[in-house]
Structure 1
Amino acid sequence: MLPAKTLSAVSLFSGAGGMDVGFVNAGIRPIFANELDSSACKTYAANHGDLIQPGSILDHFDDLHRFKGVDVVFGGPPCQGFSVAGKMDPNDIRSGLIRTFFDAVDLIQPQAFVCENVKALAALSRWQDIRNELTTRASKNYHVALILLNSSDFGVPQNRERMFLIGVRKGHPVQSDLQLQQALSESLQKHHKPAPTVGELIRTLGPAGSPANQRVCKAKITFASNPVLRKSPYAGMLFNGAGRPLNSFGRSSTLPASMGGNKTPIVDEECIFQGAKNYVEEYHQHLMKGGTPRKGEAPKRLRRLTIDECLAIQTFPVDYILSGSQSSAYKQIGNAVPCLMAEAVAASLRDIMLTYTSNIEQADSYLNYALQSQEA
């Protein structure tokens, strides 16, 4: 049974479907989705049904006209070319896919769109020209708002900052970019909720290897021979690899798509489950006082995040199915938009659309068409 006043959507660059979880929960249901990665497509299909179409979005442009006038187009085009965690290369072929997203918006002409990407695209001066290009292009037909959000404000135990470029079609009672920006800000405030700490979240799952937390990461943790020290024990580099320790009493740092090996974040299980003194902080203090770096493997109490913990940190449903290898599973999770963050954005947009528009009959017709097509 569809919820009352469910809006229709086209989901692009869908990945494993994290953004889609949030949009569906907020009452915006995709009738078409597309993703290039084959394992992510299988994951999407296992959780959302067979509406996912694999391959490059460019291969499906001839089909997109069927969805002209759909309520929302949403997605998160690949961001490696803009991310501070990448090479920040504007010539990276993946950087151009954000323009492809807006090509699809121009073709489909939805009532609204949501384009998600990394914070750097919205915040760094080096990307000012691209921001101007995208907002100018979208502003021809839409009132546009650019917002920066931290997922931890929406119940996600992770400090993951992302930008959302959101547009609502001109001709509706939303009268300006400023009015849209203010309406989104006010609505998003209503969706703020406290996030659990890393330790609190992991305790709900149990120790690594236990029934609800079985999919462990076996990548070893060894002491860095030449530690890089910072003021915080959770910065710098105390151990091998780029997977830094997480504070059990705080939020996770951004989970990267490169997890699965020594880039997977580290937790202290004795601190989390037994209340033991924090090993990482004690070792950091030892080094800051001029102590000699330790050698070999770190104590077994330190281990890397499991797949189930990463899913939970990204606020996926507990029964979410992942397809593909372990490395692919970590990649899919790291690439995802946190579900609760996506839900807050989608719910705020839906509230605005239902307040300022009466496009529900059209939405229902799209949804009925999609359901009939799937049944056929």
Structure 2
Amino acid sequence: MRAISLFSGAGGMDVGFEQAGFRVAWANDFDKDACATFQANFDTPIVQGDINRHIPTLDQFSDIDVLFGGPPCQGFSVAGKMDPNDERSQLVWSFMKAVEVVQPRAFVMENVKSLATLAKFSAIREKLFWLSQKLGYSYDLVVLNSRNFGVPQSRERMFFVGIKGDTKFRFEPEAKRFSSEEKAVRDIIFSLGKAGTEKNKRVCNAKITIAAKPVLRKSPYSGMLFNGQGRPVNPDTPSCTLHASMGGNRTPIVDENHLFEGSPSWVENYHHHLMNGGQPYGMNEAPEFLRRLTVDEALRIQTFPDDYEFIGRQSSVFRQIGNAVPCNLAFAVARAVRSILGSAETSANYIQNKQYVAAV
């Protein structure tokens, strides 16, 4: 099956879709380093630049089975300003214009959970539904958590899926047919060995300092025990969401002795100390065996192949990894789309009118 990839980034969705049997015919991203990373791992050429400049050229493609991609989410994220008028938020309409030009058998738009659930974005959702129907697509909007699909990370993402014609489908149960056993961080990174060793060389040297005024939560792995936004990772559960802001003191924290030596968790013991009224330790009293997540560990937590090549400075590589859709989650989504396309009776009355864009 043939696909077009938009907002491709480092290629997390592309890995999953190609593993599911799709062949990407064309790809695009704005970021120079992400495009270099994509080109280092795929035979498909990727076009760098503003997608709006390239959409008119997509009419060269016919018989495309699926158009997929994740428009930038910063304007919709609860970690950002949640501004629907953010310039990046307008790119969801660029995605739909690409659907209008290409007329694929299916489309998959990925974004943050808040776009699918918050009342303040209801008008955007209704407009997406209207456009999909106008173009002749049945659709479904679901939120999936990557931890249910073999990804050692709790990461909830929206998937807006359209199928050409009047086919009725429910995407979530179809996707969950391809769910996997939950994996803990330890399961996936232990075999890399300690930070700095042969298979785990790309370390993050940002210093870890203890917060003078910690913010406590019930879990030792929530709240803010350390300065910066990097939270500690519990190796015995899926990790928290890896963000594109990783790098420096925003990179998650690992207790190396707890992970590799089976020692008691320093983070849990310190949290217990604070919860029982103990005073915070001094800023520089974090033990040396607490360190930041490495690039190789982050790559595995996002379920990229071990031999996946990343281009750019370490800060750029962390950003590319954090921005990506976990490959195993993309694989399950792609298999569900294939399954639906394989069983769907496509309508003979496709809507060909391409004049609606003027009204968007």
Q: TM-score, normalised on structure 1?
A: 0.90
2:87 maps to 1:93: yes
User: How many residues are paired up?
Assistant: 345
2:237 maps to 1:242: no
Change in CA separation of 1:343 and 1:236 when aligned onto 2, cut-off 3 Å: same
Choose from 29, 35, 44 the match for 2:23.
29
2:252 maps to 1:258: no
Q: Secondary structure at the match of 2:96?
A: helix
Q: Secondary structure at the match of 2:125?
A: helix
Structure 2 partner of 1:142: 137
Cα-to-partner distance string for 1:320-341 (whole Å, 9 max, x where unaligned): 0000110000000000000000
Q: How large is the RMSD of aligned CA atoms in angstroms? A: 1.3
Cα-to-partner distance string for 1:62-113 (whole Å, 9 max, x where unaligned): 3111114411100000000000111111121000001110011011111110
2:4, 2:68 within 8 Å by CA — same for their partners in 1?
A: yes
Letter in 2 for 1:27: G
Q: Secondary structure at the match of 1:95?
A: helix
2:37, 2:309 within 8 Å by CA — same for their partners in 1?
A: yes
Structure 1 partner of 2:113: 119
Greater mean alpha carbon deviation, residues 284-293 or residues 349-358: 349-358
Choose from 163, 170, 174 the match for 1:168.
163
Structure 1 partner of 2:202: 215
Choose from 49, 57, 62 the match for 2:56.
62
Letter in 2 for 1:40: A
Counterpart-to-counterpart distance in 2, 1:163 and 1:113: 13
Choose from 301, 318, 327 the match for 1:330.
318
Tell me which stretches of 4 or more aligned residues in structure 1 moved more than 4 Å: none
Structure 2 partner of 1:15: 9
Counterpart-to-counterpart distance in 1, 2:300 and 2:198: 15
Matches within 5 A, 1:334-345: 334-345=322-333
CA shift for structure 1 position 309? 0.4
Counterpart-to-counterpart distance in 2, 1:134 and 1:354: 25
Choose from 23, 39, 44 the match for 1:45.
39
Letter in 2 for 1:229: L
CA shift for structure 1 position 186? 3.4
Counterpart-to-counterpart distance in 2, 1:163 and 1:299: 39
% identity of equivalent residues = 54
Choose from 143, 151, 154 the match for 2:149.
154
Counterpart-to-counterpart distance in 2, 1:188 and 1:165: 13
Letter in 1 for 2:277: G
2:349 maps to 1:355: no
Counterpart-to-counterpart distance in 1, 2:75 and 2:331: 26
Letter in 1 for 2:37: T
Counterpart-to-counterpart distance in 1, 2:68 and 2:153: 22
CA shift for structure 1 position 39? 0.2
1:79, 1:95 within 8 Å by CA — same for their partners in 2?
A: yes
Cα-to-partner distance string for 1:146-200 (whole Å, 9 max, x where unaligned): 11100000000000000100000015xx2x3xxx11xx33332221111321122
Structure 2: which 5+ runs fail to align?
Answer: 348-360
CA shift for structure 1 position 234? 1.1
CA shift for structure 1 position 203? 0.8
Matches within 5 A, 1:166-245: 166-170=161-165, 174=167, 176=168, 180-181=169-170, 184-245=171-232
Structure 1 partner of 2:297: 309
Greater mean alpha carbon deviation, residues 188-197 or residues 339-348: 188-197
1:68, 1:107 within 8 Å by CA — same for their partners in 2?
A: no
Structure 2 partner of 1:81: 75
Counterpart-to-counterpart distance in 1, 2:213 and 2:317: 32
Letter in 2 for 1:162: R
Counterpart-to-counterpart distance in 1, 2:22 and 2:345: 15
Letter in 2 for 1:336: A
Q: Secondary structure at the match of 2:73?
A: coil
Counterpart-to-counterpart distance in 2, 1:276 and 1:28: 45
CA shift for structure 1 position 357? 5.4
Q: Secondary structure at the match of 1:63?
A: helix
Structure 1 partner of 2:357: none
Q: TM-score, normalised on structure 2?
A: 0.93
